[in-house]
Amino acid sequence: MRKSRIKRTKTVCTYCGVGCSFEVWTKDRDILRIQPLEEAPVNGISTCVKGKWGWDFVNSEERLTKPLIRKGDEFVEATWDEALDLIAEKLGGIKEKYGPDALGFIASSKCSNEENYVFQKLARGIVGTNNVDNCSRYCQSPATAALLRTVGHGGDAGTIHDIQAAELIIVIGANAAESHPVLATRIKRAHKLHGQKLIVVDLRENELAQRADLIVHPKPSTDLIWINAVTKYILDMGWEDKDFLDERVNNYEEFVKSLEKFTLEYAEEKTGVTKEQMITVATSIHEAKSTCILWAMGITQHSGATDASTAISNLLLITGNYGRTGTGAYPLRGHNNVQGACDFGTMPAWFPGYEPIQSPKVRERYEKAWGTAIPSEPGYDNHQMVEGMHKGEIKAMYLFGEEMALVDANSNYVQAAFEKLEFYVVQDIFFSKTAQFADVVLPAAPSLEKDGTFTNTERRIQRFYKVLEPLGDSKPDWEIIQEVANRLGANWNYKHPSEIMDEAASLAPIFAGVSYDRLEGFQSLVWPVAADGKDTPLLYTDKFAFPDGKARLVAVDWTPPVEVDAEYDLHLNNGRILEHFHEGNMTYRNEGLTHKVPDTWLEVSLELAKERNLQDGTLVGLTSPYGHVEVRVIVTDRVKGNEVYLPMNTRDDSKAVNYLTSSYHDYITHTPAYKEMGVKMEVI
């Protein structure tokens, strides 16, 4: 018998938007080692605990290996032909009977750029609907919208190199040490070794906060107010960058007028941030030659999230902090490919590369290339699709690589919507909670079992290579999507994801020079990429991405948070932890990570613990107007007063935080206001 040899294959981490790359050492299906190498553009020789130890899920006995078809309350194994024929018959029939907009498509920020590209092509070009969205709707859509309206590109202004190089870093509502660990390590190093100044604004005293020069703890949902007040104070002091504003920015006069009410006194009263703290923030920006602002869900999961993100971009524009090394806006992307899913068009209003669906010129380009008609109006986003299911407008759904039943807000409401569907296709690597509502479940292959590209939070596109053969009868998502499309009338013949990338590059100008050859090995490209392959690590060095080349200051006002009845007397915060990814479907199938953190918990403050006689391990019930969960307590000084924190990952579905959250959302992007929830607690 021939002995198998150790194989070393380059991959990109599947666990967060930092985009660490490394070699995976395997022998047969055994994963022996994760080996970071210096040529990796982001991480060099380090990874975090998930990147190093989090791969057991690939060989889990719980992997889906055969298509499943619902028969009554049971699922039975089927052949691919049986499953695909049924999908074609049902989706085709529903389209015929109710029209293409009766179908909805939910894409995956865990899957590749190429898979997202073909999925939106299936929705738009084959089915004929723009009802397609991805999980950026749950996180960074408000930041994307804010950047599109102020500076023109919906991505980070620069790279992790710029974040490291900044003289001042301000982190608002982001727990980078746990959600983006290698990036946080870069900040810690720059802070400790190179004198970088660090300001952290958060409800919870996370690990980065504990190292900060200044920690600011505003009242929940009030960030826009103190940010506008800092901006106004800078203008009042004459500290704005006048040359930058004259040459590169529009709408200055109107914007300045919009700030009138945002005095330090007003802001202090509304936010609880002291005048001295706001003056320290303003002075720090004024004194630093370069400032980066990083933010995440603490800003974007609110009723006024796009406006709060816009306020950040305005502050950077006023102080000339765009277009130079060490400056810019950095909304941190959570999933490994949430940036790429958006970039490659799984959004209801945008083609790949952020070109509008409503532009006849752009539509014509895609219609010519695809040989199909494309609807001219934006489709439904995730939130609107859930509402559409309840109203009976959306009759069928096709979802891949997304645990929507638990990660969308107001889980009970979302699951009730799924029950109203006439037909539901779920494609995943595990039989998820979402799959329980499906009519057909298709077995997909994770990143280690296929080729493709991911785009990290810096807009950096990197290749990952097939390490293992797909388990059982599972297949790469792009192959499954192609087979569904062909059964619905397409004639696609992609043999490799590189051909999909070539097509996307020929159609979307920001990817013009992207090709697999230029991404070989540890090479990477940061979009926009010109036809000659020149990429753009730092945006806006000479012009902003608008026709006149100038940025736009956008006046924004505060949207108060959702009101809750007084009986829901605790503010519920939520987020990620270091050891588990998102809802936990992959990391809880990993022995080491699960041994370290076996389940979720509720963080309560020392004050609350004393008042309610809570100790570590006390079992409590949390109730909101939308649901109930039971969970054990950890008493900690990381949270204060009546603010409690429930991580979003859970081994036991019944503890998922989104049984408590509501369907309220950002009024512009419909991103759920996950961070605006009151709960009451009882000891069980």
Instruction: Indicate whether 15 belongs to the interface with ligand SF4 (CB under 6 A).
Output: yes
Give the nearer residue to ligand SF4 in terms of CB position, either 16 or 107.
16
Give the nearer residue to ligand SF4 in terms of CB position, either 8 or 286.
8
For residue 296, the minimal CB distance to ligand SF4 (Å) is 13
CA-CA-CA-CA torsion sign (220, 223, 224, 225): positive
Q: Which of these segments, 41-49, 214-222, 306-314, 655-663, binds ligand SF4 (CB under 6 A)?
A: 41-49
Instruction: Build a one-symbol-per-residue string for 654-683: x at contacts with ligand SF4 by CB under 6 A, - elsewhere.
Output: ------------------------------
In the set 11, 26, 41, 51, which binds ligand SF4 (CB under 6 A)? Answer: 51
Q: Which of 531, 482, 490 is nearest to 507 (CA)?
A: 531
| Residues in CB range of 627: below 8 A, 6 or more apart | 410, 411, 412, 659, 660
Give the nearer residue to ligand SF4 in terms of CB position, either 18 or 620.
18
Give the nearer residue to ligand SF4 in terms of CB position, either 46 or 283.
46
Instruction: Indicate whether 340 belongs to the interface with ligand SF4 (CB under 6 A).
Output: no
CA dist 340 and 14 (Å) reads 13
Q: Quick check: helix, strand or coil at residue 388?
A: helix
Give the nearer residue to ligand SF4 in terms of CB position, either 42 or 127.
42
72 Rama sector, left if φ>0, alpha if ψ -120 to 50, beta otherwise = left
For residue 593, the minimal CB distance to ligand SF4 (Å) is 11
Residue nearest to ligand SF4 (CB): 51
Q: Which of these segments, 40-48, 73-81, 169-177, 609-617, binds ligand SF4 (CB under 6 A)?
A: 40-48
Q: Which of these segments, 43-51, 113-121, 263-271, 473-481, binds ligand SF4 (CB under 6 A)?
A: 43-51
Residue type at position 430: F
Give the nearer residue to ligand SF4 in terms of CB position, either 177 or 282.
177
Give the nearer residue to ligand SF4 in terms of CB position, either 333 or 670.
333
Instruction: Indicate whether 50 belongs to the interface with ligand SF4 (CB under 6 A).
Output: yes
Q: Which of 684, 680, 669 is nearest to 309 (CA)?
A: 669
Q: Quick check: helix, strand or coil at residue 102?
A: helix
In the set 11, 26, 43, 498, which binds ligand SF4 (CB under 6 A)? Answer: 43
For residue 358, the minimal CB distance to ligand SF4 (Å) is 35
Asked if the peptide bond before residue 528 counts as cis, ω within 30 degrees of 0, the response is yes
Q: How many CB atoms lie within 10 A of CB 44?
A: 15
Give the nearer residue to ligand SF4 in terms of CB position, either 447 or 573.
447
Within positions 20 to 39, which residues make up the interface with ligand SF4, using CB under 6 A? 20
Instruction: Build a one-symbol-per-residue string for 149-188: x at contacts with ligand SF4 by CB under 6 A, - elsewhere.
Output: -------------------------------xxx------
For residue 178, the minimal CB distance to ligand SF4 (Å) is 10
Place of tokens 């790469």: 476
Which helix (H) or strand (E) segment is 275 a member of? Answer: helix 275-287
Q: Which of 631, 684, 632, 633 is nearest to 660 (CA)?
A: 631
For residue 41, the minimal CB distance to ligand SF4 (Å) is 12
Q: How many CB atoms lie within 10 A of CB 219?
A: 16
Instruction: Indicate whether 11 belongs to the interface with ligand SF4 (CB under 6 A).
Output: no
For residue 44, the minimal CB distance to ligand SF4 (Å) is 11
CA-CA-CA-CA torsion sign (81, 83, 88, 90): positive
For residue 198, the minimal CB distance to ligand SF4 (Å) is 18
For residue 290, the minimal CB distance to ligand SF4 (Å) is 24
CA 43 → CA 8, 24, 477, distances in Å? 18, 15, 27
> 374: which 2 tokens?
């494309």
Give the nearer residue to ligand SF4 in terms of CB position, either 43 or 141.
43
Which helix (H) or strand (E) segment is 91 a member of? Answer: helix 80-98
Give the nearer residue to ligand SF4 in terms of CB position, either 22 or 226.
22
Place of tokens 């746990």: 178
Give the nearer residue to ligand SF4 in terms of CB position, either 20 or 329.
20
Number of residues counted as binding ligand SF4 (CB under 6 A): 14
Instruction: Indicate whether 590 belongs to the interface with ligand SF4 (CB under 6 A).
Output: no
Residue type at position 413: Y
In the set 47, 164, 222, 474, which binds ligand SF4 (CB under 6 A)? Answer: 47
Give the chain's end-to-end CA distance (angstroms, integer): 60
Q: Which of 218, 185, 225 is nearest to 204 (CA)?
A: 218
In the set 26, 40, 41, 48, which binds ligand SF4 (CB under 6 A)? Answer: 48
Sheet containing strand 7-12, strands side by side: 7-12, 21-27, 30-35
3-state secondary structure 219-252: CCCCHHHHHHHHHHHHHHCCCCCHHHHHHHEECH
In the set 10, 11, 18, 153, which binds ligand SF4 (CB under 6 A)? Answer: 18
459 Rama sector, left if φ>0, alpha if ψ -120 to 50, beta otherwise = left
Give the nearer residue to ligand SF4 in terms of CB position, either 53 or 430.
53
For residue 354, the minimal CB distance to ligand SF4 (Å) is 24
Are 593 and 645 contacting, i.e. CB atoms less than 8 angstroms apart? no
Give the nearer residue to ligand SF4 in terms of CB position, either 16 or 68.
16
Q: How many CB atoms lie within 10 A of CB 114?
A: 28
CA dist 670 and 225 (Å) reads 21
Which residues contact ligand SF4 by CB under 6 A?
13, 15-16, 18-20, 43, 47-48, 50-51, 180-182
